[in-house]
Structure 1
Amino acid sequence: MADQSILSAFILGVIEGITEFLPISSTGHLIIAEQWLGARSDTFNIVIQAGAIIAVTIIYWRRLLNLVLGWREPENRDYALKLIVAFLITAVLGLTVKKLGFELPEDASPIAWALIIGGVWMIFAEWAAAKRPQSTTITWPVAILVGIAQVVAGVFPGTSRSGATIFVAMLAGTGNRAAATEFAFLVGIPTMYAASAYQLLKTLKDQGVAGEDWTSLGVAFVTSTIVAFIAVKWLLSYIQTNRFTVFAVYRIILGAILLGFASFGMIH
């Protein structure tokens, strides 16, 4: 059983690492995967997400350091302020949603529909953005809408935080895929650290860590970190010359398959 638990943890770590920053929804994939591999504790889910955040922080460490050390430069200061505002919007709205007692759905059907609708939305966003000049500028409307999009993605598993923020940025005026992706990922770093810390402290306060399988958790954490690093590096290279269409098609196909599985009772 121990070996099986470690294998399951490894698989979940791989899934988290691949899906956290690709626009295909990590939460949706993990919720479905846990129906077959067994549900994991809140602490486990928080820790493997932390692994993915650490990976993307490593990738962007020079950019982050440049924003901090180059604060006096108007361009850096403007960009950093927009990151901060987007984060604060997410934090305030996210806490409001938490206070209202919102719980993530665990059924496959709403996740499947979110995957399909999100896929169609991505195709439309690519098409609409292609008709505009290739601007790399992050405007204030882009920053505000990205902050809101992060909360919407958190409320509807299957939406994808990265997908929602990237394509909102593209539709709001940052038509360049690389520029939109960078801003979306940089906003995601403090957002995900804060959300993970908040949830971890709440979990430790309410449940503690009694009975936690630390070996499996460690395996999942390391796996998530390594796989996320590779996945993000690949994505940043891929989007230089390719559209996001392949991810949109994948989402639509996966959503349709999940609806089929649900209708036959193979998942709930």
Structure 2
Amino acid sequence: MSDLLSALLLGIIEGLTEFLPVSSTGHLLIAQHWLGTRSDFFTIVIQAGAILAITLVFRQRLWALATGLGQRENRDYALKLAAAFAVTAIVGLPVRMAGWELPETVTPVAWALILGGIWMIVAERLAERRGDSIDVTWTVAVLVGLAQVVAGVFPGTSRSAAAIFMAMLAGLSRRSAATEFVFLVGIPTMFAASAYAFLELWLEQGLGGEAWGEVALAFTAATATGFVVVKWLLGYIKSHRYTGFAVYRMLLGGLLLLLMPAGS
């Protein structure tokens, strides 16, 4: 397989899985086993493509919030987004600097996929018993921020899955409302995480030796695919549960444990 095709496929996989609650880490782990391992810079760039995609999807919502801060409802929502991001940054940065993170190898990622799938099924059922709330409380904002930190410590957990279902358990029980809040929080969170990783990599290793054409192709593929996937998911969850994604996670985790070497 050519390097360009490999880069294209990795970009598509990133776009497909970054915002679905299935763990992009687990999928890229499998993909790079067959398509070849890429540099940390390559991974940062394709994640940036996914961030750009979700920013484009929510461009009107973001503009409405930015220009409507004079309205109490918009100001309150924006402050809670900022609070969730602040919790992630304040707690997550020391955790990252201390190196508290499980390795991105098969065994921990596979178990995170399996346990995360079980958590999704239980959390969704519990949230449904609470009614159909669309109110983002300060408790929801703080717990979403903490859930993003947990997802960073345990590769394979899925940032979106951890945060969405924490929001639902904390009282934001309507799936669409929880998903929108988590996705909007994810924009500054992922931009900041990617910028930090880029700076860290640049200071330690520099950026020489990259195949820029492949990087650009993968970035474009991740952006285009991510845009389509997020638009689809926002429509899908209005009338469907997340159960199918949970079952898929458990099957994928089991396959990883069975078929791939434990240290890979």
Q: TM-score range by the shorter chain?
A: over 0.9
CA distance in 1, matches of 2:18, 2:104: 18
CA distance in 2, matches of 1:76, 1:94: 27
Q: Which residue of 2 aligns with 1:248?
A: 246
Aligned-pair CA distance for 1:226: 0.4
Answer whether contact 2:107 2:262 (CA < 8 A) is retained.
no
CA distance in 2, matches of 1:187, 1:120: 24
Q: Which residue of 2 aligns with 1:165?
A: 163
Larger mean CA deviation between 29-38 and 52-61 belongs to 29-38
Aligned length: 264
Aligned-pair CA distance for 1:38: 1.6
Matches for 1:122-133 after TM superposition, within 5 Å: 122-133=120-131
Runs (4+) off by over 3 Å: none
Aligned-pair CA distance for 1:104: 4.7
Q: Which residue of 1 aligns with 2:147?
A: 149
Aligned-pair CA distance for 1:103: 4.6
Q: Deviations over 1:105-161 (max 9, x none)?
A: 132011110000000000001111111110000011000000000010011111000
Could you state the TM-score of these two structures normalised by the residue count of structure 2? 0.97
Aligned-pair CA distance for 1:207: 1.1
Q: Which residue of 2 aligns with 1:138?
A: 136
CA distance in 2, matches of 1:16, 1:185: 16
Select the residue among 163, 186, 189 that pairs with 1:188: 186
CA distance in 1, matches of 2:74, 2:37: 43
Q: Deviations over 1:224-265 (max 9, x none)?
A: 000000110110010010000000000001111111113xx4
Aligned-pair CA distance for 1:267: 7.1
Matches for 1:30-49 after TM superposition, within 5 Å: 30-49=28-47
Aligned-pair CA distance for 1:5: 1.1
Give 3-state SS (helix, strand or coil) of 1:102's partner: coil
Alpha carbon RMSD of aligned pairs, Å? 1.3
Q: Which residue of 1 aligns with 2:174?
A: 176
Q: Which residue of 1 aligns with 2:63?
A: 65
Answer whether contact 2:101 2:152 (CA < 8 A) is retained.
no
CA distance in 2, matches of 1:228, 1:17: 4
CA distance in 2, matches of 1:151, 1:161: 8
Aligned-pair CA distance for 1:36: 2.2
Answer whether contact 1:23 1:162 (CA < 8 A) is retained.
yes
Answer whether contact 1:35 1:267 (CA < 8 A) is retained.
no
Select the residue among 109, 112, 127 that pairs with 1:111: 109
CA distance in 2, matches of 1:266, 1:196: 28
Gaps in structure 1 of 5+ consecutive residues? none
Could you state the TM-score of these two structures normalised by the residue count of structure 1? 0.96
Answer whether contact 1:34 1:40 (CA < 8 A) is retained.
yes
CA distance in 1, matches of 2:53, 2:256: 29
Answer whether contact 2:11 2:218 (CA < 8 A) is retained.
yes
Larger mean CA deviation between 31-40 and 118-127 belongs to 31-40
